Amino acid sequence: MIGALLAAITYFIISYVKSPWRKLPPGPRRLPIIGNAFQLSDKKWLLSKDCKGRFGEVMYLDVAGTPVIVFNSFKSAFDVLERSANNYSDRPQLIMAQKVLNKGVLMVFMNYDAHCRRLRRASQAALAKTAVRKYYSIQTREATMLASALLENGASVVMSILYDYPPLTSAHDKAIEGIEVYNDRMTRATSPGQYLVELFPWMMLIPKRFAKWKREGLKHGDEHQELFQGLLNRVKVDLDEGGTRPSFCASLLQENDRDDLTEQEMAFLAGLMYSAGAETTSTTLIWWTLAMMAFPEVQRRAQAELDDVVGRSRLPTFDDAPHLPYVRAVVKEILRWRPVTPLGVAHAAKEDGGAICMGNVWHSNHDRAVFGDDADEFRPERYINEKGELLTGPTEGNQDNHLTFGFGRRACPGKHLANDALFIDTARILWAINLERTRDENGNEMPLDTDSFEGSGVVIRPLPFDCRFTPRFPEVSSILAEERIQYGV
């Protein structure tokens, strides 16, 4: 018995010494049982300089017994989530957001299994760098409308690309309103602490007549499926009647012999692309507008490049992109400087106890070890070499110059579409318009706050601000009007 006891003690001592959890990375103090769960209900504190200063490049949190590792530097995030993608491509379990509200078929929250890979192959084929060129005319049309009115919100172009939806003439479109409701529900469902079932999965066994949250969630899931299926059916009918105009849904339907997706999967895949695309693109443009006013020297340099390459007799096009390196650098810099999803979507490890891993995109994109001491400043010229050419990425394997589009096998499949949209919007707005600060009654420029933001940390946007738009030269309005006539809008 004494020998057995000594053997057991020796085993536990060795296990303790070798345990990877014995020396955890630093992190905030944890409460009994729930750990740091409440601290993740509002993630804004993770973006503060104090957070990285106190806890360093790698931080540990505990959410009711589930280990959470946060990577606060470019290198740590890239090394683990990109270079070790074999182990870190799963997702944490989200019962409400995935199983209830999205019928279990939403790609973004799936583990990286055969089902997920099938959906990603279909979306990547439809949104590949060469495939998205067929959407240039749609993006160009919407950029023209945006430059003309500066009242659009990003929804119209995304709906056109996904569903061949007609240009929006009102923000009160039923489909748009339905998807905005879906986005609101998904934001709540993915917020830690919103639903107890995420901490206690056994609650899914409770009959729905005794669980209001479950009744409402299943009802909402049915509404989402009806909405997305209805939009997919519009495209099906058009194709059956001989329609040939390009759209994401048309690509899925036409290539389904290869992809073998169910209609439910196609419907929710397109819905995911809208949810991920419309809000992020429009919010990025809001940050971009703020940057153009806060850093007028950037605006002037981009406009000078546009005048040299394009002139003032026509609007810029995608054909001009290779000759507009600074304008393209502006796009890279706004995505780096103010990533609208600063913590991305959490990964989960296949090993390491299923630890949740979060790449802190905000701190990674402002990492001084990669971007220099001026990492907090908006400087597109950081991507321009001495020959005036656009530089490649700062890390081998990453050519985006930032980590805003995510990591490894879970990187955003729509990034080429997003880059194209931001390029043509930037080029056409700056070609046509001066963006200026408003002034007070004494003629002094009003101050701008480029550091504060609103949002829970899932998606962040700047605080409301005023902006003054003026045409750059007298012919702008007539040239824009002629182009709109060509597009029939």
- Distance (Å, whole) CA 316 – CA 43: 40
pLDDT at 156: 58
Write the pLDDT tens digit of every residue in 313-360. Answer: 999 999 999 999 999 999 999 999 999 999 999 999 988 778 999 999
- Residue 170 pLDDT exceeds 70: no
- Distance (Å, whole) CA 269 – CA 163: 12
Write the pLDDT tens digit of every residue in 72-90. Answer: 999 999 999 999 999 999 9
The conformation of residue 59, written as its DSSP 8-state character, comes to: E
Higher pLDDT, 315 or 199: 315
Question: How do strand 66-71 and strand 356-359 relate by DSSP bridges?
Answer: parallel
Higher pLDDT, 302 or 244: 302
CA atoms within 13 A on the CB side of 202: 1
Query: Which H, E and C letters describe 185-197, residue by residue?
Result: HHHHHCCCCCCHH
Write the pLDDT tens digit of every residue in 395-422. Answer: 555 678 899 999 989 999 889 999 999 9
pLDDT at 203: 94
Closest residue by Cα to residue 162 from 99, 290, 253? 253
- Distance (Å, whole) CA 380 – CA 326: 7
pLDDT > 90 in the chain, percent? 52
Burial of 334 (0-12, 13-18, 19+ CB in 10 A): buried
Write the pLDDT tens digit of every residue in 90-99. Answer: 999 999 999 9
- Distance (Å, whole) CA 268 – CA 290: 33
pLDDT at 101: 93
Write the pLDDT tens digit of every residue in 457-473. Answer: 678 999 988 888 889 99
Predicted confidence band of residue 188 (pLDDT cuts 50, 70, 90)? confident
Higher pLDDT, 341 or 193: 341
For the chain, what percentages of helix, strand and coil (3-state, to nearest 5) are there? 55, 10, 35
Query: Which H, E and C letters describe 418-475, residue by residue?
Result: HHHHHHHHHHHHHHHEEEECCECCCCCECCCCCCCEECCCCCCEECCCCCEEEECCCC
Q: Where are the alpha helices (DSSP H) in 71-166?
A: 74-77, 114-126, 136-149, 155-163
Residues 6+ apart with CB under 8 A from 455: 44, 461
The conformation of residue 390, written as its DSSP 8-state character, comes to: B
- Distance (Å, whole) CA 400 – CA 411: 11
Residues 6+ apart with CB under 8 A from 450: 290, 291, 294, 378, 462
- Distance (Å, whole) CA 389 – CA 166: 38
Predicted confidence band of residue 376 (pLDDT cuts 50, 70, 90)? very high
pLDDT at 152: 36
- Distance (Å, whole) CA 199 – CA 191: 12
Residues 6+ apart with CB under 8 A from 444: none
Predicted confidence band of residue 167 (pLDDT cuts 50, 70, 90)? low
Mean pLDDT of the chain: 86
Higher pLDDT, 72 or 192: 72
pLDDT at 41: 73
Write the pLDDT tens digit of every residue in 281-301. Answer: 888 999 999 999 999 999 999
Average pLDDT of the residues in 185-208 = 86
- Distance (Å, whole) CA 189 – CA 350: 23
Written as one letter, the residue type at 8 is A
Q: Considering the entire predicted model, what is its pTM? A: 0.85
Question: Which domains, and CATH codes, for the chain?
Answer: 23-487 (1.10.630.10)
Average pLDDT of the residues in 242-261 = 85
Closest residue by Cα to residue 111 from 132, 89, 144? 89
Closest residue by Cα to residue 94 from 382, 458, 399? 458
Flag the least confident range among 144-158, 332-346, 371-385, 469-483.
144-158
Q: What is the CA radius of gyration of the chain?
A: 24
Is the Cβ–Cβ distance between 100 and 217 less than 8 Å? yes
State both tokens at 143: 């950029």
Is the Cβ–Cβ distance between 401 and 444 less than 8 Å? no
Q: Where are the alpha helices (DSSP H) in 295-352?
A: 296-309, 325-337
Is the Cβ–Cβ distance between 31 and 64 less than 8 Å? no
Cβ neighbours around 375 below 10 Å, total: 18
Is the Cβ–Cβ distance between 221 and 103 less than 8 Å? yes
Give bridge partners of residue 462 from the DSSP assignment.
Answer: 453
Tokens 């007549």, residue? 209
pLDDT at 425: 93
- Residue 310 pLDDT exceeds 80: yes
412 annotated as a binding-site residue: yes
Is the Cβ–Cβ distance between 431 and 315 less than 8 Å? yes
Tokens 């057991």, residue? 8
Measured between alpha carbons, how far apart are the two ends of the chain, in Å?
88
- Distance (Å, whole) CA 261 – CA 250: 13
The Cα angle at residue 144 between residues 141 and 148, in degrees rounded to 5: 140
State both tokens at 323: 């000759």
Sheet with 66-71, strands from edge to edge, namely 58-63, 66-71, 356-359, 347-348
Write the pLDDT tens digit of every residue in 5-40. Answer: 666 566 555 544 454 555 789 999 988 888 888 787
Is the Cβ–Cβ distance between 298 and 334 less than 8 Å? no
